Homo-oligomer: A and B are copies of this chain.
């Protein structure tokens, strides 16, 4: 299941009370009080990671940067309920201690452990609880606990987020599994999102690091829920080689296949985040084609998917294509209004510089579906990309007005 679907990965979880220490009662779905997980590989993993671009970084993000430099990671420890951000020197000590306790109980070195935290900013970690949670999780590691791990990393998520895929790599079937969390504060720069993709593929050292940015750019960085980006965002890819295939080298055909499969898992996870945006009732997919470049396409797609006015229109089932055109216009992507072609759910609503007389009732019916696809063809080149978002509902406001420090 999820990160333990690939061979050679096990996980353990604990309910150690971190969420009870720090989060408002309304923010945590009842029955989801698991708040810590440990994931371990039987072998050293080739590991790549990308992290938040926020200038304020959680202690765990800084520690992970350091530990990744040695590229001998074999375990993760993740807690939810407390972000360990804006916690000064104490925060660094606590993050290092989390790595050390985990390493001690799994017979590893501390720099073989990566640490992630998510939750409320600005509170010190309740380290007694965290310590007992790590000990408890490490005492109960099992390949069957992948789903539990996905539960343990949730904060305002309404459900655990998983994806799995098998792929043939030079005649050997390798497995890829992933889990993530994130609903509010999700933005192109991966705000308050944690994502982990594991594979049992054997790869040459450094391959995961060379792939992780490209995978993130076409998946998690195209998810947008509310425009904020957080202190703790983390995306890690770990390959442990348990499948026994010939190690995949950079630039090989197998590397392309593997990267495509990792991207597919990442995109499934990214869409699950968009679908689970705080208060979201609809998944919005924005496809942009014909952009002057892929970067332009990414920018345009993200901008439409994150427009508050587009998001509220979608929530209201309002076929307000003017807001989509407007968002494309301020996205910064090159465009010319007379070349734009715009469709909503397959219905052309705008072309040749003006709106098309369509049956507004049909457009409205499209907007009332749980999944809505907007396709914008810019006519400027051959750049293409997509982005995912959700509607903006009254419920979003309620959740975030009440979620307490």
The reply to whether the CB of A341 lies closer than 8 angstroms to some CB of chain B is no
Contact count band on A: 35 or more
> Which B-chain residue is minimally distant from A225 (CB atoms)?
B308
The reply to whether the CB of A199 lies closer than 8 angstroms to some CB of chain B is no
- B397 x A397 contact (CB < 8 A): yes
A330 to chain B, nearest CB (A): 4
Task: List 11 additional A-B contacts (Cβ < 8 Å) besides A56-B325, A86-B350, A394-B394.
Answer: A54-B329, A55-B334, A56-B326, A86-B353, A88-B352, A121-B322, A229-B326, A313-B400, A315-B401, A318-B402, A318-B404
A299 to chain B, nearest CB (A): 12
Contact of A330 among B55, B121, B323, B403 (CB under 8 A): B55
Contact of A400 among B230, B312, B319, B396 (CB under 8 A): B312
Please name all residues of chain B whose beta carbon is closer than 8 Å to the beta carbon of A150 when the two chains form the complex. none
Please name all residues of chain B whose beta carbon is closer than 8 Å to the beta carbon of A312 when the two chains form the complex. 396-397, 400-401
Closest A-B pairs by Cβ, 9 of them: A316-B401, A121-B322, A56-B329, A312-B400, A88-B354, A54-B329, A394-B394, A88-B353, A226-B308
Contact of A355 among B56, B86, B393 (CB under 8 A): B86
- A54 x B330 contact (CB < 8 A): yes
CA distance A189 to B322 in the complex (A): 18
The reply to whether the CB of A87 lies closer than 8 angstroms to some CB of chain B is yes
Interface flags for A212-256 (1: CB within 8 Å of B; 0: not) read 000000000000001111110000000000000000000000000
Please name all residues of chain B whose beta carbon is closer than 8 Å to the beta carbon of A306 when the two chains form the complex. 227
Knowing A322-B85, A397-B315, say if A122 contacts B329 (CB, 8 Å). no
Please name all residues of chain B whose beta carbon is closer than 8 Å to the beta carbon of A392 when the two chains form the complex. 397, 400
> Which B-chain residue is minimally distant from A86 (CB atoms)?
B325
Please name all residues of chain B whose beta carbon is closer than 8 Å to the beta carbon of A191 when the two chains form the complex. 330
Contact of A326 among B226, B228, B321 (CB under 8 A): B228
Contact of A394 among B308, B350, B397 (CB under 8 A): B397
- A189 x B330 contact (CB < 8 A): yes
The reply to whether the CB of A398 lies closer than 8 angstroms to some CB of chain B is yes
- B404 x A393 contact (CB < 8 A): no
- B350 x A121 contact (CB < 8 A): no
The reply to whether the CB of A16 lies closer than 8 angstroms to some CB of chain B is no
A155 to chain B, nearest CB (A): 13
A374 to chain B, nearest CB (A): 14
Please name all residues of chain B whose beta carbon is closer than 8 Å to the beta carbon of A90 when the two chains form the complex. 354
CA distance A325 to B57 in the complex (A): 10
Contact of A316 among B54, B184, B402 (CB under 8 A): B402
A313 to chain B, nearest CB (A): 7
Contact of A318 among B307, B335, B403 (CB under 8 A): B403
A142 to chain B, nearest CB (A): 35
- B189 x A337 contact (CB < 8 A): no
CA distance A318 to B354 in the complex (A): 44
In the complex, chain A residues 291-338 whose Cβ is within 8 Å of any chain B Cβ: 306-309, 312-313, 315-323, 325-330, 334-338
The reply to whether the CB of A405 lies closer than 8 angstroms to some CB of chain B is yes
The reply to whether the CB of A185 lies closer than 8 angstroms to some CB of chain B is yes
In the complex, chain A residues 102-135 whose Cβ is within 8 Å of any chain B Cβ: 120-123
Cβ contacts A to B, 22 pairs, < 8 Å: A54-B326, A54-B329, A55-B334, A55-B336, A86-B337, A86-B350, A86-B353, A87-B354, A88-B338, A91-B354, A121-B323, A227-B308, A228-B307, A231-B329, A315-B397, A316-B401, A318-B405, A320-B405, A360-B405, A392-B400, A393-B397, A396-B397
Contact of A308 among B55, B322, B400 (CB under 8 A): B400
